[in-house]
Amino acid sequence: MAFLKNIFRRKEEIKYPPVTDYSSFITDIHSHLIPGIDDGSKTMEESIDLIKRYKALGFRKLVTTPHIMSDAFRNTPDIILGGLDKLREAVRQEGLDIEIDAAAEYYFDEDFVKLIKQKNLLTIGGKYVLFEVSYMNAPDNILQVIFDIQIAGYTPILAHPERYPFWYNKFEEYHKLKESGSLLQLNTNSLNGYYGPEAKKIAEKMVDANMIDFIGSDMHGVRHMAALERTANEKYLWKLAASGMKNATL
């Protein structure tokens, strides 16, 4: 009887060690902290305030990832790395003991395809390329582009897959992405319903299926930070901490 009771135990009864901060993850890999170059932080003062709160949450490294998007944010490596230098200097002047690096969040468009062929991409940890797709329509050739990224010598990471509604009723598409070699980065605040109940539901389903490789705050401003502070109380974050994320390897 005890054996049968264990089999049918509801998954929510499984206990995971509570997380009081994000120190076990070490690194946040998705944020928009370089001021004034995309839809993220507007001023250096705002960026410094956010970084102080990251540090209070236990993070020891931040990889900020400005948008590169041909029809909105035409950032280049020079623009991003120049902004990184200024951000690092501001962090140094504040005496904050936290490592700051930069890559990019590439939007899946024709310019991105060209950059892949040119092997001219900003990376996380020297090899990972973070990219996103349209929220409206699934790209027909995403598996080919994932293949092209790998052929170019990079490892693709799809940003916030739980926020693409066209896959909500096609969960097998997430498996195809994983099987193709793409890693998946969950927006941490999806676990507290910040992006809506459907995103929360699919996020939890992917966590249960052990499909998440990285978490990232996708920080754009103080509202995201306030939500990130609340998310530390979410049991699915505790589950991710117990399972181990690649964040800690960067």
At 142, which helix (H) or strand (E)?
helix 142-151
Domain ranges of the chain: 18-249
Q: What is the CB neighbour count within 10 angstroms for residue 249?
A: 10
Distance between CA atoms of residues 24 and 225, nearest Å: 18
Put simply, whether the predicted model's pTM sits higher than 0.85 gets the answer yes
Give 208's contacts (C-beta < 8 A, 6+ positions apart): 11
Encoded tokens for 37:
């170059």
| Beta bridge partners of residue 187, listed in sequence order | 216
Is residue 32 within 8 A of residue 67, CB to CB? The reply is yes
Give 172's contacts (C-beta < 8 A, 6+ positions apart): none
List per-block mean pLDDT (blocks of 10 residues) for the chain, which spans 250 residues: 48 70 97 98 98 98 97 95 98 98 97 96 98 94 97 98 97 98 98 98 98 98 97 96 96
Is residue 160 within 8 A of residue 185, CB to CB? The reply is yes
Closest CA to 237 of 162, 199, 187: 187
Provide the Cα torsion 28, 83, 70, 169; round to 10°: 10
**Polymer length in residues for the chain:** 250
Is residue 30 within 8 A of residue 130, CB to CB? The reply is yes
What is the bridge-based pairing of β-strands 155-159 and 128-132?
A: parallel
We find that the CATH architecture of domain 18-249 is: Alpha-Beta Barrel (3.20)
DSSP three-state, residue 187: strand
